[in-house]
Chain A
Amino acid sequence: MARFGMVIDTTRCVGCMDCVVACKTENQVPEGLCRDWITTEARGRFPDVRLEIRSERCNHCDHPPCVTCCPTGASHVEPFGNTVKVTPELCIGCKACLASCPYDARYIHPQGYADKCTFCLHRVKEGLDPACVAVCPTFCMHFGDFDDPQSEVSRLIASRRGHALLPEAGTGPRIVFLT
């Protein structure tokens, strides 16, 4: 069974936010909310300064705490690509999943249910990339199956240096940032 994930090359990302706009348009994300966002992290002391620009979103974790804490099963692991999804008709809006996510990747949709990135599974099922990946003008984003050693994402992880976000939180995040 596939295990979808993303590899994002931070040496190519310029933080243009095309991915954010594409996601909002594709998924009709309500005004004032976003499923993906840009984080800019600067470290060091001049002149030895390092800047990393990251396009971030739900990490579709291997051990998703949002799924474990959900009292109704609304947050669940979708067999297609082992991705984390929310069923709005099951969600009571208790917000435990928002509190359980170390990446703060979720929000409450104005209609009351918890919402977040879906890896655009509706597009992936049609053989397309997620909207954010498809529009990236620097081609820094890659989507694919982490369990397939021949996939582009697996080869990038094997050949390049990279890191996930907060691996120490123990959630098994499936977005790798190449550095």
Chain B
Amino acid sequence: MHEVTVTRLNHLVDPHLHVWAWQIPVYLFLGGLVAGMMAISGWFLFSDRHRRAESVSFLLPALSLVLLSLGMLALFLDLEHKPFFWRLYTTLKPLSPMSWGAWILVAVYPALLGAMALRLPAWLRGRWPALDGFAGRLAAQPRAVRAIAAANMVLGGLLGIYTGILLSALGARPLWNSALLGPLFLASGLSSAAALVHLLARDRSESEFLARADNRFLQAELVILALLLIGLLSSTAVHARAAALLLGGPFTAVFWVGVVGLGILIPLVIQSLAVAHRIRHTAVAPLLVLAGGMLLRFVIVNAGQVSRWGPV
């Protein structure tokens, strides 16, 4: 017999930690999605696709701006001491991923605005001649285009990895105790972004390119997920118990059916057939990938909060 009775019943902490509800998974998903879109947008700029009229690369920065702002709104809604949120920007704590993540978010906005300025959205064009002139001069300078492309790719990579490191730095929750969470969320963010851009692309070569890229990202995500579970299972009993939450525990069905099956394997099969021209490209696979990316964040955040060092 091993029985533990605790008289504490603190809100958000007992019977198990549940400090983060929908806001944080949604923020992590949108952050990862924007990170992936920045990487793709940067890649397109490097490949000179911004000269093509049909390219989706012009849509990406503006859409990223909206999605990231929605993500930050979700993050703000999660804060319990909202009037003090500005304190994030009065200091930089190098050991706190949340602190340097907050500063990355600030750096992301100018990079997105720079990418937007390379070709202004239709609703902005012709309103301010100075802005039109600036955008034209910027796009005409290859060095500026390359700098903006590099900034988008680097900051996109950092943003994608940070969303995972944010959780893995919290050592008290064994399910998150893996540096692989960073690459996992980056791969998932890239895959979700490729799926979304695939849905939006009008240029057939871009659409095809993104479907192929998405397949690679989904494969990478599968490998990282497997490594994550192997790493936890081959660690301490506490970590193996955390992995068991996804391997027979309460999160098993949603993880294997939702995240792995519907979110990765099925879209991977559909898109593999589509890029081999066996079936037509449809919205089914990208939508499944996007739903799977969101579900992955919910499962990891919720299962991680249930996992603990102490007695279950």
Contacts and interface: CB of A to CB of B under 8 A. Distances in A.
Interface in A7-34: 17, 20, 32-34
Interface in A35-80: 37-45, 49, 56, 65, 68-74
B172 A65 contact: yes
A93 B87 CA distance: 11
A89 B170 contact: no
Contacts of B82: 92-93, 112
Contact of B81 (A20, A100, A113, A170): A113
A88 B83 CA distance: 12
Interface stretch (A102-110, A129-137, A148-156): A102-110
B50 interface: no
Contacts of A164: none
A129 B94 CA distance: 36
Contacts of A39: 4-7
Interface residues of A, number: 51
| Chain A binding surface, main DSSP class | loop
B65 interface: no
Contact of A113 (B80, B85, B173): B80
B171 A170 contact: yes
Nearest to A72: B87
A100 B172 contact: yes
Given A71-B93, A92-B79, A112-B81, A42 B11 contact: no
B3 to A, nearest CB: 5
A41 B4 contact: yes
Nearest to A63: B171
A102 B7 contact: no
Given A95-B12, A107-B11, A112-B81, A69 B309 contact: no
A166 interface: yes
A101 interface: yes
B12 A38 contact: no
A68 B171 CA distance: 11
Interface in B1-38: 1-14, 17, 19-20
B113 interface: no
User: Interface residues of B toward A: which range?
Assistant: 35 or more
B95 interface: yes
A168 interface: yes
B282 interface: no
A104 B170 CA distance: 13
B274 interface: no
B297 to A, nearest CB: 15
B13 A166 contact: no
A1 interface: no
B12 A108 contact: yes
B309 A72 contact: no
B169 interface: yes
B99 A91 contact: no
A135 to B, nearest CB: 16
A43 B12 contact: no
Given A71-B99, A112-B80, 17 more contacts: A32-B10, A33-B10, A42-B1, A65-B170, A91-B87, A93-B82, A94-B78, A95-B80, A98-B13, A100-B170, A100-B172, A101-B172, A102-B308, A104-B13, A107-B13, A111-B81, A168-B238
13 contacts: A69-B97, A70-B96, A71-B96, A72-B90, A72-B93, A90-B87, A92-B81, A94-B78, A96-B98, A99-B20, A100-B171, A111-B81, A166-B309
